[in-house]
Amino acid sequence: MSNTLIPCCPPLILQHLSPIDAEQLASMFRVLGDPSRLQLLSLITAQPSGAACVCELIEPLGLSQPTVSHHLKVLFDAGFLTKERRGTWMYYRVVPQTLQALYSTLQPPAVGAEAVVIR
């Protein structure tokens, strides 16, 4: 998966997912299926500047630098993070639009909206 933000999938409740949309959505949720990656998103978002470098994330997670870097790469490749080089350090930020795209696929329909029923 690339880090190019592609509007994801139609809301699950309102429309049948195509095989391509289902695969894209499943890939994104697989990335979030790791507790360390969820913690990373939380830690980065909680930074006062909204950005964090690997050096700030190692101790809170209790993981090695290579492991944290691997998780950050996976999140970046999936479009959940952006990165910016500052000297020798890479700083990461959460991409809110990616999280919003996932949220919107799971959002229940408005009251009165009809769901598509597939039989």
| 14 domain-assigned | no
pLDDT tens for 64-104 read 999 999 999 999 999 999 999 999 999 999 999 998 888 87
Cα Rg of the chain (Å, integer): 17
pLDDT tens for 39-68 read 999 999 999 999 999 999 999 999 999 999
How many structural domains are present in the chain?
1
| 112 domain-assigned | no
Structure tokens at 33: 């299926």
Q: What is the pTM of this model?
A: 0.77
Strand partners, 93: 51, 82
| 10 domain-assigned | no
Please check the confidence at residue 25 and state whether its pLDDT lies above 70.
yes
CATH number, domain at 77?
1.10.10.10
Write down the pLDDT at residue 105.
79
The domain in which residue 41 lies consists of 21-106
